[in-house]
Amino acid sequence: MRIEALTVIPEVFDPYLDASIMGRARRAGVFEFVAHDLRKWTHDRHHTVDDAPFGGGQGMLMKPAPVFEAVDDLSSDGPRPHVVFFSPCGRPYDQRCAERLSREERLLLVCGRYEGMDERVYTLADDVFSLGDYVLTGGELAALAVVDSVVRLLPGALGDEMSAVDESFSPQTGLLEYAQYTRPASYRGMDVPDVLLSGDHARVDRWRRLSSVERTARWRPDLIDEGALDEEELAIVRSVGYEASRGE
């Protein structure tokens, strides 16, 4: 997959994308990444990308022309990219969005800065995503979150030791991941559940399923689909709900 970012701070991407799992996947050719400096598409001596908002108000906005020219230029070179913008006003980005983007051949991630962008640029967008209900100083962290979450879904990105299949939000369960433990079996008085040491795979699988249900009911009750749960699982949801309401 080819992934490009359009940004006024292109230097922030490589340190993250050359390290650890992303770095290995990049070197193995699982994805290519280029950060384009938006200032390349300015025509004045100062490479101006921002201007004051019409109607007054604080701060500066990104001008439309450099963004339009850059997206036009980049789109005419190779396959048409799927164009993503970032804004706190965008659609909340989630695992389903990552899976959809992972099927694209080419992504162009347009990063805002300052007080945001001239509204007209969003006519170029195939998607506008928000990372969450808080305000960042720029779209670069959002773009890195998208690159990371998409790349780890691509074949060959994760080594054999990791899997993107039975994780939180995976379409198979739609639940949070179950609790996991590693050595030692007892630490500071806290013991790993016996069943995980039993070697009985069927019991381990059942314990993990119930752990997923319990954690989801506790932390993300909005993800629970009661129709997909059996009686024992529903009982867990109800007991967690009872505890949670008592705790308020």
Which residues contact ligand SAH (rule: CB under 6 A)? 86-89, 111-113, 115-117, 130-132, 134-136, 138-139, 142
Distance in Å, CB of 179 to ligand SAH, minimum? 29
When the beta carbons of 7 and 173 are compared against ligand SAH, the nearer one is 7
Shortest Å, Cβ 88 to ligand SAH: 4
Whole-number minimum distance, CB 69 to ligand SAH, in Å?
A: 18
Angle, vertex CA 1, rays to CA 76 and CA 118, nearest 5: 50
Give the nearer residue to ligand SAH in terms of CB position, either 144 or 157: 144
Please say which residue, 137 or 245, places its beta carbon nearer to ligand SAH.
137
CA distances to 88, 102, 163, 221 from 25, in Å: 29, 14, 14, 35
Least separation in angstroms between CB 107 and ligand SAH? 15
- Distance set, CA 176 to CA 127, 209, 218, 236, 243 (Å): 26, 10, 10, 15, 19
Name residue, tokens 């359009």: 6
Q: Which residue has the tokens 């001008």?
A: 63
Give whichever of 145 and 204 is closer to ligand SAH, judged by the CB atom: 145
Tokens found for residue 84:
């993503």
Nearest distance from C-beta of residue 56 to ligand SAH, angstroms: 14
Query: What is the token pair recorded at 63?
Result: 């001008």
Calculate the CA 155 to chain-centre distance: 17
Output 1 or 131, the one with its CB closest to ligand SAH: 131
